[in-house]
Each structure stands twice: as structure tokens, then as C-alpha cells.
Amino acid sequence: MWISIGANDIRQRYRRSVLGPIWITLSMAILVGTLGVIYSKVFNTSIDTYLPFLCLGFVIWGFISSTITESCLAFHQAEGIIKQIKVPFSIHVLRVMWRNLIVFLHTIIIFIPIAVIFGVTPKPVIFLALPGFVLLCLNGLWLGMIVALLSSRFHDVPFIIGNLLQITFFGTPILWPVESLGDKQLIADLNPVHHLIDLVRGPLLGEAPLVSSWLVAIALLVLGSAAAMLLFRRVSRRIVYWV
């Protein structure tokens, strides 16, 4: 059900567009290309290494931020379904994640020509990107459930989440490489989003993620899932009244 509804959301979004979802790919390609040229000069870094780094960082961050932002309204947008059909509430969060996964697949395509042009050679470690992405999605699922529950009760939550995401974006190694911090790399190490992104970006760039990144992602999954389950059990019966 959530796969069908999520795919239909994408079709409705680009129903009268000539290029359809290709606009997603084009807009991301233009953004990454422009910022890659500018910030490679700012950080005095070779564009050969910086542009693939920036491309993957932007694409993965786009998936994370869009999933969290849209999850805030997951229950409100599904108000008609919630009040008429008894289905698991997780379907509405999975719907959001699925349509953002479709967008992710459209944008990750631009990494292929960038990798070819700038000589990013595939290595066996690339296969670690798949379990890393699975961990990323699972963590996005429990976080999406929490913000959906909170947003259904408190309408200020989406604005708070939007501001927190802006701060997180600039505090995460997306525009800037970790090496630019010098001896202050602990700032990046304490950022859990950095570890989640690195589980996918690292293998695609031919670098094995640190063991600490796997441990952080697994710990977040266990603790976050437990928190989401406890919150859901406490408020699930009230959701239909809140939306």
C-alpha cells in the first residue's frame, strides 16, 4: 500500500510537467556543479576529489532532510485515510520514505558521470554502501515516526525541525571536508548525521567507513526505535483526534 501511494505522490507532483521527475536530476546536477566549482576554490581543494564528495553529500543529505521534513506532515496529509480506514500508522511514514527514495534514485544518477569524469574507481568496498544505506533508512524511519507523532499534536514542531535541519546542514561535513577542521575533527565525530552519511558516501568513494560510524548508526537505531515504540504506544489512540 505505501509503495503504491508513495509512487502515486511522485506521479501527481509531476503530472503536467514535460520532463517529469527528470527535473529532480537536472536541478541537483546544476546545484552540485555550481557549488562544486565555487567551494573547491574556497577550501583550496582539487575539484577532482571535492566534486564527487560534494555530490554524494548533497544527494544523501537531500534524502535525509526531505524524509524528516515531510514526515512532520505525514499524518496530517493522510487525514482522510486515517479517519476512514484502519491501517497501521507506520504506512504513512513509509509512504513518505518511499517517495523520497524514488527522488534519491533520480538524483544519485548524477554521481555516475561525475565518477567517470573525475576518475573515481569502483573498489570492492563499494558493496558496503548497501548495508550503510539500509541503516540510514531504518534510522530515518524511527525518526520520521517520532516527528510525525509530535507534529500531529504540536503544530510548531515542523518549524522547529526545519530550523534544526538548517543548523545540522552547516554543522555536517557536506559542503566542507572533515580534513578542513584540522585538529578539531572531534566536532564532526560528535555529529551522528556525519556517521550516517559516511556509511554511504565512504564506500562509493572507495573508502571503508570507520567502525565507529557503524557502531553509532546501530546504537541510534536501537535507542531511537525503542523511543519511537514507547511514544507510539502512549499516544497512538489519540492521533485520529489530533489530525
Tell me how far apart the alpha carbons of residues 228 and 233 are, in angstroms, rounded to a whole number: 9
Tell me how far apart the alpha carbons of residues 205 and 19 are, in angstroms, rounded to a whole number: 30
Contact between 6 and 98 (Cβ < 8 Å): yes
pLDDT in tens, 71-113: 998 888 888 888 888 888 888 999 999 989 988 988 898 999 9
The whole model's pTM is what? 0.89
Contact between 3 and 9 (Cβ < 8 Å): no
Of the two residues 181 and 77, the one the predictor is more confident about is 77
Tell me how far apart the alpha carbons of residues 239 and 243 are, in angstroms, rounded to a whole number: 6
Look-up of cell digits 510525525: 148
pLDDT in tens, 105-134: 888 989 999 999 988 888 899 999 999 999
106: helix, strand or coil: helix
